[in-house]
Amino acid sequence: MQRKIFIAIDIDEKAKKFINKKVDKMRDKLSARWIDKDNYHITLSFLGYLEDDEMVKLEAKIFEALKNTEIFDIHLNKIVLAPSKDNPKMVWLIGDKNQKLIDFRYKTEQVVNDLEIDKKEFRPHINLGKLKGSKIKEEALEKADEIEKDVDLLIPVTGVKIFESKIEKRKQQYYTIDSIEFN
Count other Cβ atoms within 10 Å, centred on residue 67. 11
Which residues touch 50 (CB under 8 Å, ≥6 apart)? 2, 3, 5, 58
pLDDT tops 80 at residue 142: yes
- Report the C-alpha gap between 115 and 45 in whole angstroms: 10
Per-residue pLDDT reduced to its tens digit, 35-76: 999 999 999 888 888 888 888 888 888 888 888 888 999 999
pLDDT tops 70 at residue 113: no
Q: How many CA atoms lie within 13 A of 18 on its CB side?
A: 15
- Report the C-alpha gap between 112 and 80 in whole angstroms: 30
Strand partners of residue 161: 8, 179
Query: Greatest CA span in the chain, whole angstroms?
Result: 48
- Report the C-alpha gap between 84 and 21 in whole angstroms: 24
Amino acid found at 132: K
Confidence category of residue 114, pLDDT binned at 50, 70, 90: low
Look up the pTM and report it: 0.87
Confidence category of residue 30, pLDDT binned at 50, 70, 90: confident
- CATH superfamily for 2-181 is Cyclic phosphodiesterase (3.90.1140.10)
Structural domain spans, the chain: 2-181
Dihedral (C-alpha) 181, 155, 5, 176: value to the nearest 10 degrees?
60
Amino acid found at 90: M
Confidence category of residue 111, pLDDT binned at 50, 70, 90: confident
